[in-house]
Amino acid sequence: MITTYYLQAATQAAILAALEAADLVQAVPEQTQTIAEHQQKTFRDVTDRALLFELVMAYGWRMEEVKHNGVSYYDKGTEYMTMEYVTVPEQTFTTPAYLAKTEGVHLVDVGIITKRTGGTEDAPIMETLPGYHINLHLDERCGDLSDEQRKMLPIIAAPKNPVSVLA
């Protein structure tokens, strides 16, 4: 069973702040992380066919490290590889901001609603409804809102004639 509430406030930010105050969502800000230059172990396949033949003839296919002419080789069943360290340059990653929703909370960001109030197909007359709109759907995992949560949210009555139909 899904329970739906219709929310309207002056701005999207105002609705999101109310949802956060009601513990239905949590705004997670953009986060930037820098990873310093470092050494990373990597494996490289032996592509020299003569060397590969030499390794197979000397050691067969072993599932263990073998030392050959002072170099370590590792068998992966059908070919050999070497291990080496490469320098990974400093990297900066930015995770975009997002909205973490409580389990069972679903939001439909309707936005600013305009509806046709007259005119013709070629020249319609449109009216913009006041405020910003979001539909809040709660499934059985979340349950219904408490009285305290209802007081925190800018809930409006369900529209009698919806003008924004999402399919």
pLDDT on residue 167: 46
Give the Cα separation of 45 and 96 in Å (integer): 37
Residue 101 CB neighbour total at 10 angstroms: 14
- Among 50, 49, 41, 39, CA closest to 72: 41
Question: pLDDT tens for residues 20-45?
Answer: 999 999 989 999 999 999 999 888 88
Q: What b/e string do you get for 128-148 counting C-beta neighbours within 10 Å, with b at 16 or more? A: eeebbbbbbebeeebeebeee
Question: pLDDT tens for residues 62-83?
Answer: 767 888 888 888 887 778 888 8
- Among 164, 154, 162, CA closest to 6: 154
- pTM confidence score: 0.59
| Cα–Cα separations (whole angstroms), residue 157 to 5, 81, 88 | 8, 67, 57
Please state the rounded mean pLDDT for residues 46-64.
85
Give the Cα separation of 133 and 10 in Å (integer): 9
